[in-house]
Amino acid sequence: MVTLQVSTDKDRLDVELIHRFLSDEAYWSRGIAREVVERAIDGSLCFGGYIDGRQVAFARVVTDGATFAYLADVFVVPEHRGQGHAKALMAAVMAHPHLHGLRRFTLATLDAHGLYASFGFTAPSRPETLMEKFDPDIYARAAGAP
């Protein structure tokens, strides 16, 4: 099996690949503008996953580095799925020193509960205390879709 190399060096990120995946394939960000992806990367702790120097995976964490983190935009490109790369990427995320000792580390997922549960994530213990402002159509409206 090929080993995934994980790096937090933003200069290595293939922003075109990340934007294409998030805009065209990810259910959570369909239609997202490249400029929005670039701003998200700039404001986040990012993890690129590489095989033979080519990026095949990505995750980003929005964090203050002390009390809170939100995991977002985790993906492995389809042709490299099923080889343990998502687990390797998540292991690197969880090992990062800026993400230790946090009071709350959150994420949202429709289909990867098993992956995240293996790293200690659970359903909110008190969901009644959580609130959100959610606009699922923001990217489509920004792109001028009806």
Number of compact structural domains in the chain: 1
Instruction: Find the mean pLDDT for residues 21-31.
Output: 96
> Could you tell me if 82 and 106 are in contact, meaning their C-beta atoms sit under 8 angstroms apart?
no
Question: Which residue did the predictor score with more confidence, 89 or 146?
Answer: 89
What's the whole-number average pLDDT of the chain? 95
The CATH number given to whatever domain includes residue 52 is: 3.40.630.30
> Could you tell me if 106 and 129 are in contact, meaning their C-beta atoms sit under 8 angstroms apart?
no
User: Which structural domain range is residue 18 located in?
Assistant: 5-142
pTM: 0.94
> Could you tell me if 23 and 40 are in contact, meaning their C-beta atoms sit under 8 angstroms apart?
no
Query: Which pLDDT score, from 0 to 100, does residue 146 have?
Result: 56
